[in-house]
Amino acid sequence: MNVGRLHRVLKLLTILQGGTSLSADALAEQMGVSRRTLFRDLKMLEAAGIPYYHEAGVGYRVSPSFFLPPVNLKITEALGLMTLAKSAEANRHQPLAAPTIEAVQKLMAMMPQPFRQVITDMLGHISVRPAPAVTPALNHHDHYALLQRAVDETRVIQMRYHSLFDGGEVDVVLHPYHLHFATRAWYVIGRCTRTKQTRTYKLARIRDLFLTDRRFRRPAGFNIDNYLGKAWQLIPEGKVYRIELEFTAKVGTNVSEILWHPTQQQELLSDGRCIMHFEVDGINEISWWLLGYGDQVIVRKPAALRKRMIEFHRSALERYEQADKS
């Protein structure tokens, strides 16, 4: 079950436990979903063993005898949750961060006071500083919620998108397949009806978003891991390259301590240099990563990536020289 559907089903359970019986139409309206989606969520409650019932002429409700079982957490488990909440707090502007914090706080409120005090004392010696994140637009959360609903209900969306490739804003009609968080930002992956290709769109660049009533059929074989394949991060380019890099002794140990890509193979030499091998779909994304290491890395293979890095560094040198002359 995806995160958006889980939140929606929990919301449905909360409404049904509220003590007021509601008709299917009233429930669907309060949930902001279609009757079809509502009945699908009710079936999920039934499959989970939650005893809801429908009274003719009155509506749906959960049996008063039903309560969620108590949660018994170990100190290490509670500490892990609170550390997660700290991380979410640092990224509060991201979708789902605030609900995560609220959920952890509710769980902690159920713990005995001495237990909570121990966790609070331990947290005083733990800090979380996340990597720089994308600055979201004011309507970022609204867009995420609409996209989550569109993905879940297989509904076509229309959006106004700032495209770096096109150099401006473009209108996109999209069949949204999947929401994906990577490299500090959220992305939606789906089929663009104009290009008839599966594309990746950054939520922070969506200017306007509209949820239509039209439905689409998600490809049965679509899988996010298969789609990304051997891409360095997000964008597969259609050609896999065997890449060989040589890092200097100055950064060799540091770079070898991180798994940058699933295909990574490496050899740390006795003099401190690190030789790394990857199989990557495309060279565009990895070239920007390599720029971060400046003169501390050279590309051994392939020639296409080596040529691109030489051009990057030559262009940078020319810009510095021009700046010195001005």
Tens digit of pLDDT for each residue in 72-109? Answer: 777 777 778 788 777 777 666 677 777 777 777 777 77
Q: Which stretch, 24-33, 48-57, 108-117, has highest mean pLDDT?
A: 24-33
Q: Which stretch, 76-90, 107-121, 122-136, 145-159, has highest mean pLDDT?
A: 145-159
More confident site: 103 or 28: 28
Domains detected in the chain: 3-62 (1.10.10.10), 75-123 (no CATH), 140-228 (2.30.30.520), 240-323 (3.30.70)
- Scan for tokens 């089903």, then name that residue: 9
Is the peptide bond between 132 and the residue preceding it cis, with omega within 30 degrees of 0?
no
pLDDT value, residue 135: 66
pLDDT value, residue 140: 72
Contact between 14 and 52 (Cβ < 8 Å):
no
pLDDT value, residue 188: 95
More confident site: 25 or 272: 272
CA count, 13 A, side-chain hemisphere, 317: 8
pTM, rounded to two decimals? 0.68
- Percent of the chain surpassing pLDDT 90: 47
pLDDT value, residue 4: 62
Looking at residues 120-136, what average pLDDT do you find?
72
> Torsion angle, CA of 254/259/261/266, rounded to 10 degrees?
70
Contact between 125 and 119 (Cβ < 8 Å):
no
* DSSP one-letter code for 202: E
Full DSSP string of 125-181: T----PPP-PPPPTTHHHHHHHHHHHHHHTEEEEEEEEETTTTEEEEEEEEEEEEEE
pLDDT value, residue 6: 67
More confident site: 137 or 262: 262
Looking at residues 235-242, what average pLDDT do you find?
94
Q: Across all residues in the chain, what is the average pLDDT? A: 85
- In this structure, the number of other CB atoms found within 10 A of the CB of residue 148 comes to 21
* Token output for 123: 């947290």
Evaluate if residue 68 carries a pLDDT over 60: no
Lowest mean pLDDT among 72-76, 150-154, 255-259: 72-76
Q: Which stretch, 63-77, 143-157, 263-277, has highest mean pLDDT?
A: 263-277
Looking at residues 29-47, what average pLDDT do you find?
84
pLDDT value, residue 139: 63
- Scan for tokens 């392939």, then name that residue: 302
pLDDT value, residue 14: 76
Would you place residue 64 in the very low, low, confident or very high pLDDT band (cuts 50, 70, 90)? Answer: low
Q: What is the pLDDT of residues 174-227, one digit of tens each?
A: 999 999 988 778 899 999 999 999 999 999 899 999 999 999 999 988 899 999
Contact between 88 and 103 (Cβ < 8 Å):
no
Contact between 228 and 257 (Cβ < 8 Å):
no
